[in-house]
A and B are shown apart, each in its own frame.
Chain A
Amino acid sequence: MTGTPAPSDKTDAAPSDETDAASAASVEAANPAHVSRRGLLGLIGAGAAGLAVGGAGGAAIAAGVASATGATGSATYPFFGTHQAGIVTPAQDRLHFAAFDMAASATRDDLVALLTDWTDAAARMTQGLEVGDGATGAQYAPPDDTGEAVGLPASGLTITFGFGPTLFETAAGVDRFGIAGRRPPELADLPRFLGDDLDPARSGGDLCIQACADDPQVAVHAIRNLSRIAFGRAVIRWSQLGFGRTSSTSTSQTTPRNLFGFKDGTANLKAEDTAEVNEHVWVGGDSWLAGGSYLVARRIRMQIEVWDRQQLVDQEQTIGRDKREGGPLSGGTEFTAPNFHRTLADGSPAIPTDAHVRLAHPSNNGGAALLRRGYNFTDGTDALGRLDAGLFFITFQSSPEAFVTVQRSLATDALNEYIQHVGSAVFAVPPGATTGSYVGAGLFS
C-alpha cells in the first residue's frame, strides 16, 4: 500500500506530466502564474474553470468520482465539489488531524486569506502536486513546499476543513471575525459526559484540518505545509496521528479492527447508502452549512494492558460481538443484524444489557446514526510504561445531537472500564468549495 515504487503514478508538480488525473492537471492550470504561498489571494477568480473536471459529479459522493491510477491502487480524489472529501470517501489507512487557534491579532481578512491559501494548497496536494512554487525554486528563499512528498503519489489524500464554536465567538463572548451571528445553534461545546477526563490542551480549537491518506508521509506533509502557511495567522493547538482506520465507510472495504482486537465499524453508515447518508451526515436546508456536516473528535485512551488480561468471554460480552468473525452474540455472521431480544437458556440476554454494541446501536438511540471515521493511535508510552494508545474517534453527523444521544447511552457501557475520553472537539464542516472559491466562502458572503 505504501512505499511501492510507482513511476507511472508520479504526480508531482511537473506541468508536462500527462499521466496525472485530469483533475490534477486542471489544478495546475488554475494556477498558471505559480503564485507564491504569500500571494495566493490572486487565485480567486483566476481561470479555474478547468477544476470542474474533478468535481463534475456535483452531487455525486466523492467516492464515486475517485480516479485510481496505476496498479498500486493509489487513488486521487477531487478537492472541489458539493461536499468536502474525506467524509464519505472510503476511509484511508492513515490520519493526521490538527486543531488550530487563530492568532490573537488575526482579522476577518486574515481568516479569509488563510482559508483561501489553505484551499489552494489543499487542492494541489490532494492531486499529488507540490505547494506553491514547489519544493525547489529560488536559491535564497526557503522552498514553498517542504518536499517530503516529492515523488509520492497522491495516496488518496483528502483534506477536510472544519470550524469550531470558538471561531464564531470566544469563550469570553468576543466576535473576532464578525460571524457570531452565523453560528449554527448546534455548534457548541459538547456537554460533559460521565467519565470524561478531558485535557484542554487536547480539546477544542477554532479550526480543524483532517488529512487522510494511504501513506503517512503524505498525510503529515499535508498538515505540516498547511500549518506553515498558517504561521502568523493561526497556530496548531493540538494534533493527532492515526495509523490504522477503525471504520469502513464504503461497502467496498473490509472491516478493520481497533486496538481491542475487535472489528470496528461493521454497522457504520456507508457511502453507498445515499439516503442514509443524506439523512444522517449532510446538513440540509439552505444555510451556509448546507451540504456540510458536523465533525466530532474524541481522543479515547484505552487501558491496553488491563484489557489484554481479560478473558475472551468477558471481552466478547463487553463488546457484544464475537472476536474473530465479528458476528453479534445473538448469532449469525458479521453483517447479521444483532437481535437484542434473544435470550440464552438461562433467560439472560444473548447480548448483555451493558454491551457496547447494544448501547451504541441506532435502535437504542432513537435512530441516531453516525458516520464513524476513527483511527487507532499510539503516541509511544506514558511515564508508567503503559502504551499511550487508543482510538481517535471521529464521527460525522448532520447534527452533533446525534453524537450526544449515542454518547449519553454509553454511560453504562461495559467498555467504560477500559477506556477514558481525554480529548474532545466539535467542528462545523462547511460544504465543498466550488472551483475558484475557497472552503467556507459561504460563511463570509
Chain B
Amino acid sequence: MSRTALIAVPATATIALLLAGCVPNNPASTGSGAAAAPLTVAIDDTSCAVSASTATAGTLTFSLTNSGTDVNEFEILAEDQLRIVGEKENLAPAQTIDYTVQLNPGTYYTACKFQLIGEPIGLTEFTVTGDAVAVDADTKQLADAAAANYVGYLKDQVGQLTPAVQKLVDAYESGDDDTARALFASTRVFYERIEPTAEAFGDLDPKIDYREVDALAEGLDWTGFHRIEKDLWAPKSGDLNSDDTDALAGWAPSTPAERKKLGDQLVADVAQLNQLVTASDFTVGLADISNGAIGLLDEVATSKISGEEDWWSHTDLSDFEANVQGADVAYGYVRDIAAARGDEGAKLVKEIDTQFAALDALLATYGSIDAGFTPYDEVTEAQRKQLSDQVNALAEPLSNLTQAVLGKA
C-alpha cells in the first residue's frame, strides 16, 4: 500500500474503466488489445503468474487456470492496489476459464486470492497502454460493473481483515502485548477503509468499533477494538477518558479469561461481517458507493480530527489515512460516471481530485500505514486545524458527488 501509488490515483487523467468480467463482452468487437496474444494466468496456492506484464487498452481476455488444491480468485487492482477493477471468483481446482475485462490505459496490479480470503498473492504490476474508451455516464453496464467491483473491494478488505484480526487477537489473548500493540493500527486499517459498510449492518459496528463512552452511553457491553486498546495501552492513575471522567473508574485490566472472551468475540463479529458481505444477495447501488465516500470523510471530520477515536493508542492518523483511502477508492468507482455529467461533473471531479491529492500529500508528511504515523497526541492544535481545513476542503465538493453520479434533480 505505498503512499505514492495512492496519491497517483486521483491525478491520473483516465481512471481504469470499470467493466468487469461479469459483463460478457465479445473480445473481437472492441479494442486492439483483443487482437494481441491471449493472456494466460497460471494460478496455484502460492502464485499467480500472468503471461505478460503489458497490454493494449480495450477488452482483454485472461485465460485462468487453477492448478492448486482449493478455490482461488483472480483480481485486477487499480494503481492504489486497493480498488478492484475486475475479479473472477470461485476458480475450482483444475478449472480453466476465460475471463474478460475492459481496461483503459493505466497502471494496474494482478493478484490471486487463495480460498478467496486474506492478502493478495502474487501481486504484480500490469501496464495498459493505448487510448482510453469514452464513458457514457448513463450506461447501465458501467453502473453495474462499478457496483459489482465495489462489492468485490468490500469483500477483499474484510477478507484481509479476518486473518489480521486473528493475529491481533492471538497476541492479545496470549498476553503478548508488544506484538498486539504493533498490530493494532495496521489491523484496523482494513476496517476503517470500509467503515460505512459495517455501520450499515446495524449492531456490528457497535460491537466491533465502539469507544468506551459510546458503549456506556447506550448501555451496551463494551467489546471490540477499543476495549482491547485500553488493555494494551492501560491508563495510569489520574488519566482521563475522552469525556474527562476518571479512566480507572469502572474499568479494570482484563483478566486472561476476559481477554479470551473479548478476543474471541471480535473474531466472531468480524467473521459475521465477512459472512454478510460475501452473501450472494449482498449488493450495493451507485449511491451507496458515493455515499460511502462521503461518509468516510464525515467520519474523519467528526471523530478522527478530535483524537477521540484511538484515545489510548493515539493511532488516530492511521485510521484517518484508512478512511481517506476508503473514500478515495469508493470515489474511484464512480468518478468516471460523475466526470461524464457535462461541464459541472467534470469540474466537480477535477476539484475532488485536487483536494484528495492535497489531503494525501498533507497526511504523507505524518507518515504512512506501512511506516506508521506520528502519534496523534504529538500533533499540535495548529497542525490539527491544518488537517481539519484540508478535510473540509475535500468534504465540501465530495458532498456533491452523489447528485452528480445519479445525475438527476
Contacts and interface: CB of A to CB of B under 8 A. Distances in A.
B138 interface: no
B403 A235 contact: no
B392 interface: yes
Interface residues of A, number: 16
B409 interface: yes
B348 interface: yes
B397 A38 contact: yes
B399 A140 contact: no
A39 B393 CA distance: 17
B344 interface: yes
A232 B409 contact: no
A176 interface: no
A232 B399 contact: no
Contact of B406 (A38, A105, A140): A140
The size bracket of the interface on B is 20 to 34
B399 A142 contact: yes
Interface string B395-409: 111011011101011
A139 B291 CA distance: 13
A335 interface: no
Contacts of B395: 231
B261 interface: no
A235 B389 contact: yes
A232 B396 contact: yes
Interface string A129-140: 000000001111
Given A103-B393, A105-B358, A231-B393, A138 B344 contact: no
A408 B351 CA distance: 48
Nearest to B358: A105
Contacts of A39: 344, 347
B107 interface: no
Given A232-B393, A235-B389, A139 B344 contact: no
Contact of B389 (A38, A103, A139): A103
A383 to B, nearest CB: 14
Interface of B: 287, 344, 347-348, 351, 354-355, 358, 385, 389, 392-397, 399-400, 402-404, 406, 408-409
Given A140-B408, A233-B393, 12 more contacts: A38-B351, A38-B400, A39-B344, A39-B347, A105-B358, A139-B409, A140-B287, A140-B402, A140-B406, A142-B400, A232-B394, A232-B396
Interface of A: 36, 38-39, 103, 105, 137-142, 228, 231-233, 235
29 contacts: A38-B344, A38-B347, A39-B347, A103-B389, A103-B393, A105-B354, A105-B358, A138-B403, A138-B409, A139-B403, A139-B409, A140-B403, A140-B406, A140-B408, A141-B399, A141-B400, A141-B402, A141-B403, A228-B396, A231-B392, A231-B395, A231-B396, A232-B351, A232-B355, A232-B396, A233-B393, A235-B385, A235-B389, A235-B392
The list of the 6 closest CB pairs from A to B, nearest first, reads A141-B403, A232-B393, A231-B396, A140-B403, A235-B389, A140-B402
